[in-house]
Structure 1
Amino acid sequence: MPGETLNGTDAGPRRMNRSERLSGLAQQHGALVTLVIAMTVASLSFDTFLTGDNLENMALSSAFLAVVALGMTFVIVTGGIDLSVGSLFALGGVLAAWGSQYGTAVALLLPLAGCGLIGLLNGVLIARVGLPPFIVTLAAMLGARGVLLAITDEGSTTYLVDKDSFFATLGQSSLGGIGVPVWITVALFAVGAVVLRRTRFGQYVYAVGGNEDAGALMGAPVARTKISVYTLSGLCAGLAGALNAAWLLSGVTILGSGMELEAISAVVIGGTLLSGGSGFISGSLVGVLLLKVIQNVINQIGSLDSAYQQVVSGAFLAVVVVAQTWLGRRRRVL
């Protein structure tokens, strides 16, 4: 009879489970497969792609965006969005460069305190007042950029970091041929993966993003969880800005423009659903690396304008979102 195997068991559910598993694997590991293919093609096409200097530059440039994307992952898993991280990244860099004259502790704590406070305010307005995340974080983006301009006299003042300070070594030195910012990023992602997948707080994050009302009925502290993830996003953006200032030895005011869109793209490309409730810390890291590989390949070509990076990244993101939507519908049908 249809739906039966030779030994008399029903093969229909087994086929559906297999299709569902394949859809889940495609969502979770599709970016990694694409990254491997992209790196293979790039290494075969350009002799300089796999050189130590090029890989080191890609790793360093990826580290700062990755830290921002780490915080963004928690926000998007809850079903939210944070448009303020680009401005907070720039603000964190300026605060760190200014604070470095008073020592490494001030250079690190000042951007964490300032950017974390803005993230906390975002979370309170979203979770307690009930304002839309898009509007709140857009206002924070503009407000943080305004604070940045006020601190730097409309961008005319650039604060420098003493190259002989310990703070500078965080951005300039390396361990085993790999920059310290890269090691810090790897450590943060390892901790973030454990927190999201293995702790009660991580379960709350998934519950809030999956179904906020159901999560509340299950005992998840919805408001507190939202406030926590937006605060975490602000802290990550501030830390990334501080590390970038240590690397550049200055607080550059023009940085961070469009970084929020890059971070969102990396998180979504890595398999986190914009609708919330599903996401992977490791996937966000893969998404960042994939974006940087695409940018590097365009730079390797040389004849293409830098604007093509945005065109390719946008087109790739559109493809990923369509694929995620299709996979999500397929899994619900199965």
Structure 2
Amino acid sequence: MAILVTGGAGYIGSHTCVSLLKAGHDVVVIDNFGNSYPEVLHRVEKIAGCTLINAPGDIRDREFVETVLKRYRCTSVIHFAGLKAVGESASRPLFYYDCNVVGTLRLLQAMRTAGVKKFIFSSTATVYGTPQYLPYDEKHPLAPESVYGQTKLAVEKMLEALRTADPEWSIAILRYFNPVGAHESGLIGEDPKGIPNNLMPILAQVASGRREKLTIWGNDYETRDGTGVRDYIHVADLADGHMAALKVLETAGCRTFNLGCGTGYSVMEVIRAFEHVSNRAIPYEIGARRPGDIGEFYANPVQAKEQLGWQATKDLRQMCEDMWHFQVKNPDGYNNSEL
């Protein structure tokens, strides 16, 4: 019996694979390595001290996924595979709908044929859109403003409809806030191909000299220092959230949980924290607000605490320390062949 992890070589998927392996689960990974590296899976095995099954492929290949599910007798699926760049989603909407929505549809069809009806979905807090109130709880109205968020919401609605049509399904929808940090070993972390879209990997690249400076997109928000405020969560805490969600799959239903710290940090606060742990100055410039950006964005994570027994434990300092440790150990990302 095994757990299938789609996108298991990705940033959050790889950390969750470590947690699953250390807990004694057999793990099968499907990844097409479109935005990840096969090397990551070797490092996951090194950290966990045991092996996983790597089944390279694309979740849009329904027959392939069905074969993998049956061959390895998978009992549940944790679904990370997909695209997540907000800006790119606006310029390539059909690509995003194909990967995120059609890909999930094909995966669910393969699961149904294979008789696997336990599913954890990697969603996003961007499904909430502009806040009508803060912090966001799971009952907040859903109005995503990006194509990326719209694809995630489309999948959420598909999952709810599936559960209504077939009550045997057990589904957990996890809405992430802003994952950051890296594994404490420094072996795995966030190393996106191309230009990073998220604050923390850009900070690490600026601090290490790989990038000249950081652009702060807007400093005139109605926040304590004018820069945007976000709920940052350590990727290890996020992985633990998936472990906790496995427990609710023991009973049928479709449940949704925010995974965040419940605390917002501004861009300037994150910069200062990163400067402190790295002992490096972070050059930055102020740019104009980006269309669709929101001033404040943070979670009410009480439901996850009450129903999953989960809460984030790592603070901003730990997030920055672990990200910097990964950057120092991997100055060229996963292209570093010394590890």
Specify the TM-score bucket, using the shorter chain as the normaliser. Answer: under 0.3
- Higher relative contact order (CA closer than 8 Å, sequence separation 6+): 1
Q: Report which of the two structures shows the higher radius of gyration computed on alpha carbons.
A: 1
Between Structure 1 and Structure 2, which shows a larger proportion of strand residues?
A: 2
Between Structure 1 and Structure 2, which shows a larger proportion of helix residues?
A: 1
TM-score, normalisation: structure 2: 0.25
